[in-house]
Amino acid sequence: MGRARRAVVGVCAVAVLVPAAAGGCAGPGDGGRGDSRDDARGAGAAERGGSSEGGVPGARGVRLIGDGSTAWTGAQPRQPRVRRLADGEKPPQFVVFSWDGAGEVGDGLFEHFREVGRKYDAAMTYFLSGIYLLPESKRSLYQAPGHAPGASDIGLLSDAHIKETVEQVRGAWLDGSEIGTHFNGHFCGPTGVASWSKEEWKSEIAQAKRFVQRWKTHTGRHDAEPLPFDYDKELTGARTPCLEGRDNLRAAARELGWRYDTSGVSQQVWPAKKDGLWDLSMQLVPYPGSDREELTMDYNFKVNPLTTAANAEARMRDGLLAGFERAYEGNRAPLIVGNHFETWHDGAYMRAIEETVKEVCPRKDVRCVSFRQLADWLDAQDPGTLRKLRRLEVGQAPEEGWGRYL
């Protein structure tokens, strides 16, 4: 299939066509611009207590956790200040770029998009698959609900790629981005995550966390730097494999104190809470060259029957930009985008995402943020303001203008 990752991650078991597109795929997301510097990236970021490299064991201000795989290193750098909208203030345009199953397999895509994020002031969300930090020799430690020990529908990474993934995850967090989870074995279909109970989801989550929190023990790399965060506190949201099983996942996540879920399909309207979590689902945007819409995920553009190798890059880029403009000039609903580190159609979707970041993140009043940063902003707003925002339909700007409407 053209890349080493093909042997690592597999592909989705679900392919839903337009217009009611859904799905999502297996796989090895913002800071504000605008006029207000109160919300600029890096404002008020805490100093890192003497460690400039993300948690050197023994350094001042670093507290190792467990076996030293993770550490408390202080407040995360490069986080924007959050404030409530003033009366009559036009809301910013949020955009979230997110990556399912984020891992590094030697192709440099993880590092490349971190560089893109730094260049264009875009925090992102990386949904790490927990078993990507579990060596093949230890695969039997993973026990997916309803499956034999060590079973997984995606492959595990080599020892060298585990090392690279840890380095990229560490760097992404220090960049200001978020580390979420894509769980572990990526089981789709009737015997997969859609069949899991709340308690089975809790087991899967506990294992995903444990593989991150004990990667040093599992790999034997005890002299390596820790990941610079407490994963119990860092992990506040996720996207389920193939967008399946989210009802019981939300029930488990609510009890675990999570803040959001992004496992569904939505229109471009302002989000609300479901079961106590912000529903930050991906959205349907115009599919160029048709009167249909497609889900804001690379995989779904790929399986759309109107997509070809020749038009793949333009169709996804122009579709995302059309969705962005519809929100930016309309109701200002956050645009949620999902991706994978894959080179489908010779990297067409990677180029489409990068072109979209370059185009939208520097725009006035646009904030390219992580899911957690978006949840922070939503939590800070007046509930009445959010209710008014949710009354606006797709692409609908207030007729009387934002100053009077809010």
Q: How far apart are the C-alpha atoms of 24 and 236, rounded to whole Å?
A: 20
Q: How far apart are the C-alpha atoms of 59 and 316, rounded to whole Å?
A: 45
HSE-CB at 240 with a 13 A cutoff on CA atoms is: 31
Residue 60 is predicted with a pLDDT of 57
Whether 278 and 375 have beta carbons less than 8 Å apart is answered as yes
Residue 25 is predicted with a pLDDT of 52
pTM: 0.88
Bridge partner residues of 127 (DSSP):
100, 180
**Which two tokens mark 39?**
């919300």
Residue-wise pLDDT for 270-314, tens only, equals 999 999 999 999 999 999 999 999 999 999 999 999 999 999 999
Residue-wise pLDDT for 162-178, tens only, equals 999 999 999 999 999 99
Number of H helices, E strands in the chain: 13, 14
CATH-assigned architecture of domain 6-45+57-405: Alpha-Beta Barrel (3.20)
Q: How far apart are the C-alpha atoms of 255 and 275, rounded to whole Å?
A: 10
Q: How far apart are the C-alpha atoms of 342 and 113, rounded to whole Å?
A: 12
| Cβ neighbours of 14 (radius 10 Å) | 20
Residue 301 is predicted with a pLDDT of 98
Q: How far apart are the C-alpha atoms of 324 and 304, rounded to whole Å?
A: 20
Max CA separation in the chain (angstroms): 63
Residue 3 is predicted with a pLDDT of 36
**Which two tokens mark 92?**
């910013």
Whether 269 and 392 have beta carbons less than 8 Å apart is answered as yes
Query: pLDDT tens track of the chain, all 406 residues?
Result: 333 343 333 334 333 333 333 444 544 433 333 333 334 333 333 323 333 344 444 455 899 999 999 999 999 999 999 999 999 999 999 999 999 999 999 999 999 999 999 999 999 999 999 999 999 999 999 999 999 999 999 999 999 999 999 999 999 999 999 999 999 999 999 999 999 999 999 999 999 999 999 999 999 999 999 999 999 999 999 999 999 999 999 999 999 999 999 999 999 999 999 999 999 999 999 999 999 999 999 999 999 999 999 999 999 999 999 999 999 999 999 999 999 999 999 999 999 999 999 999 999 999 999 999 999 999 999 999 999 999 999 999 999 999 999 9
Distance set, CA 100 to CA 89, 157, 179, 279, 305 (Å): 34, 15, 11, 17, 23
- Name the residue ranges covered by the structural domains of the chain: 6-45+57-405
- Please say whether the dihedral angle defined by the alpha carbons of residues 47, 50, 56 and 57, taken in this order, is positive or negative: negative
- For tokens 């994020």, the residue is 117
Helix orientation angle between 109-119 and 344-360, rounded to the nearest 10 degrees = 10
Distance set, CA 259 to CA 118, 120, 199, 230, 301 (Å): 25, 26, 18, 16, 28
Q: Which among 232, 194, 188 has a CA at the least distance from the CA of 213?
A: 232
| Cβ neighbours of 110 (radius 10 Å) | 22
Whether 259 and 283 have beta carbons less than 8 Å apart is answered as no
Coil, strand, or helix at residue 338?
A: strand
Q: At a CB cut-off of 8 Å and minimum separation 6, what does 373 contact?
A: 30, 31, 79, 80, 82, 123, 178
Q: Which amino acid is at 367?
A: R
Residue 41 is predicted with a pLDDT of 38
Q: Which amino acid is at 345?
A: H
Residue 61 is predicted with a pLDDT of 80
